[in-house]
Amino acid sequence: MKTKKIFKIVAFVLIGMIVTACGSNESYQNVDELITSVAPNVTEITVEELHQKLDAGEMIVLIDVREPNEFNPGYIPGATNIPRGLIEFNILNEPFWENQFLYPPLKTDEIVVYCKKGSRGLLAADVLQKFGFENVKYLKGGFKAWELAYPDEQLKNLEQVHDTGGEVGGC
């Protein structure tokens, strides 16, 4: 039974990759070009706007796309960690969300994604839009901007820090 489910997931991903590859002839010389091309399609939110929404108790799906070794030392309260490289695989994965004691987000839910400085968050927001999520934003300036604006409003998970490696993804 589990093998069938894995096969279906792999088949779905491969079909998606083929469709995407066949539908686009864009190429980029570097990541900055990719970010520049994606940015106009993605809505940003400032740390102040996010803070106001959280203080008002608005229902927001907050996703931190940094690697676990970046996430555990400090993150915005209420955030779920889904590393950028896994966002496509976990965003609609019910067992992943059950493991987080949460429900998978609905296509209409407000979703805010962030990384360390903003670029991975922007790319993740673009992917979520391509998955049909209608109300996705990325946090301008990322966790660094949050940390500077609200240094006392973050959670830490230091007992789960196993890897002391540096940041990932260059942003």
**92 domain-assigned:** yes
Q: How far apart are CA 25 and CA 156, in angstroms?
A: 42
Q: How far apart are CA 78 and CA 83, in angstroms?
A: 16
**165 domain-assigned:** no
**110 domain-assigned:** yes
Write out the chain's pLDDT in tens, 171 residues: 566 766 666 666 656 666 555 555 678 888 889 999 999 999 999 999 999 999 999 999 999 999 999 998 999 999 999 999 999 999 999 999 999 999 999 999 999 999 999 999 999 999 999 999 999 999 999 999 999 999 888 888 766 544 444 555 555
**21 domain-assigned:** no
Q: Could you say which of 76, 79, 113, 115 is catalytic?
A: 115
Looking at residue 102, which CATH number applies to its domain?
3.40.250.10
Active site residue 115: yes
Give the structural domain span for 132.
42-160
**10 domain-assigned:** no
If one counts the domains in the chain, the total is 1
**28 domain-assigned:** no
